[in-house]
Amino acid sequence: YLTFSVHPIPAARSRPLTLLCRATTMLSVRVPLLHITDPQQLQLSPLKGLSLVDKVNRPPALSGTRVLASKTPKTKAAAPGVEDEPLLRGNPCRFVIFPVEYHDIWQMYKKAEASFWTTEEVDLSKDIRHWESPKPEERYFISHVLVFFAASDGIVNENLVERFSQIVQITEARCFYGFQIAMENIHSEMYSLLIDTYIKDPKEKEFLFNKKADWALCWIGDKEATYGERVVAFAAVEGIFFSGSFASIFWLKKRGPMPGLTFSNELISRDEGLHCDFACLMFKHLVHKPSEEKVREIIINAVQIEQEFLTEALPVKLIGMNCTLMKQYIEFVADRLMLELGFSKVFGVEIGEYQRMGVVSSPKENSFTLNADF
């Protein structure tokens, strides 16, 4: 039972307050702070543990305040051993940003925030008349890549909403995931605008890319997969599945058509690179990581699917690129991802500088520093 001892105050200034307690319900009187003089009452004040210095809010201890929700957050994707993983462990302070505990994760969020852009910044007015310049097979390739991109961003968001945002409990990562969801929406809107600009026949907009989509969706629906395995899988989606398609559009840039397409591709590829880097950072923070054997299996599977997509299902030879060199490029990107995850290379591919399109970029500009020629 909770008991309160208050000094008498004029009746005109009193106001009933219903206090909901676990064991009993009782009526009390809300006392203005100016009338509280009893030291014991001051100790009970919820303002006592609140610091506004430097805008850093440290919430009062839960033991001294009324608890309106469970101290232990409920997670849909809780798995055995979650309490042993700091990133996934129940965190009652996850609703308050400060004080920052994971500074490296927070800096990634701020970096993403600084890279914000909207579709209104991309001028598509010149692309309409440029669309007739490429050959029919080049237009076919571009349109189908855009459809793949548009749907893939929706799949990435599905994973963020249904999985990562549900299970990860640290505030800094939740901030990043929330911002990533917003950026993926912008990417999807951008691709939809490009599709509507180039493709006027609704039937042409229907395209099946079953293997790539199904592979990603399987990782969302797999209830047995650990958070660490999903992190690797979606690092592969954003780091490997997108890499070849990004490179193909960058390759078209040297020919000069469709400035809106190439500029938006630069912005989106920069964002996806950051998302992939964040996945690697989260992986490094895990206490219980998947084995190197499991990680290699995931990466190799993703590479095989991407190589098949760009050399058979939608071959880059349609736009004059070399399929063999594209396969090597995808393996090169996969090796870089393996190193970022803390493991050794899988393929050990050495590629020429001319093939590094989509990998090496200037930190000060959106434009890429090397002009690839596959």
Task: Give the pLDDT confidence of 219-232 residue by residue, as tens digits.
Answer: 998 989 999 999 99
Kindly tell me if the per-residue pLDDT of 51 is higher than 70.
no
Please, where are the H alpha helices in the chain?
39-44, 103-114, 127-130, 136-159, 165-167, 171-198, 210-221, 227-236, 243-253, 259-285, 292-308, 323-340
Task: Return the minimum-mean-pLDDT range out of 2-6, 23-27, 233-237, 293-297.
Answer: 23-27
What confidence score (pLDDT) does residue 203 get?
56
Task: Give the pLDDT confidence of 119-157 residue by residue, as tens digits.
Answer: 999 999 999 888 888 888 988 899 889 988 988 888 999
Residue 111 binned pLDDT confidence (cut-offs 50, 70, 90): very high
Q: Which of 102, 109, 177, 191 is catalytic?
A: 191
One-letter amino acid identity for 185?
Answer: N
What confidence score (pLDDT) does residue 257 get?
76
Task: Give the pLDDT confidence of 54-85 residue by residue, as tens digits.
Answer: 444 444 343 433 333 333 444 444 454 566 89
- 94 contacts 170 by C-beta, under 8 angstroms: yes
What confidence score (pLDDT) does residue 81 get?
56
- 232 contacts 341 by C-beta, under 8 angstroms: yes
Residue 260 binned pLDDT confidence (cut-offs 50, 70, 90): very high
Q: Which domains are assigned to the chain?
A: 130-357 (1.10.620.20)
Please state, in angstroms and rounded to a whole number, the distance separating the CA atoms of residues 33 and 352: 72
What confidence score (pLDDT) does residue 352 get?
57
Kindly tell me if the per-residue pLDDT of 275 is higher than 60.
yes
Identify the residue with better confidence: 101 or 370.
Answer: 101
Average pLDDT estimate for 365-371: 37
Average pLDDT estimate for 88-117: 94
* Separation of CA 18 from chain center: 43
- Residues contacting 27, CB < 8 A, separation 6+: 16, 17, 18, 19
Q: Token pair of 334, please? A: 């996969």
Identify the residue with better confidence: 42 or 301.
Answer: 301
Query: How many CA atoms lie less than 13 Å away from 228 in the CB half-sphere?
Result: 18
Average pLDDT estimate for 249-257: 81
Kindly tell me if the per-residue pLDDT of 166 is higher than 90.
yes
What confidence score (pLDDT) does residue 209 get?
54
Identify the residue with better confidence: 204 or 300.
Answer: 300
Helix axes 210-221, 227-236, angle to 10 degrees: 160
Say whether 1 is catalytic.
no
Identify the residue with better confidence: 165 or 350.
Answer: 165
Please state, in angstroms and rounded to a whole number, the distance separating the CA atoms of residues 168 and 285: 12
Task: Give the pLDDT confidence of 303-340 residue by residue, as tens digits.
Answer: 999 999 998 888 999 998 889 989 999 999 999 999 99
CA separation (Å) from 66 to 38, 41, 47, 62? 20, 15, 13, 7
- 131 contacts 198 by C-beta, under 8 angstroms: yes
Task: Return the minimum-mean-pLDDT range out of 106-115, 123-132, 269-278.
Answer: 123-132
Identify the residue with better confidence: 51 or 196.
Answer: 196
What confidence score (pLDDT) does residue 274 get?
97
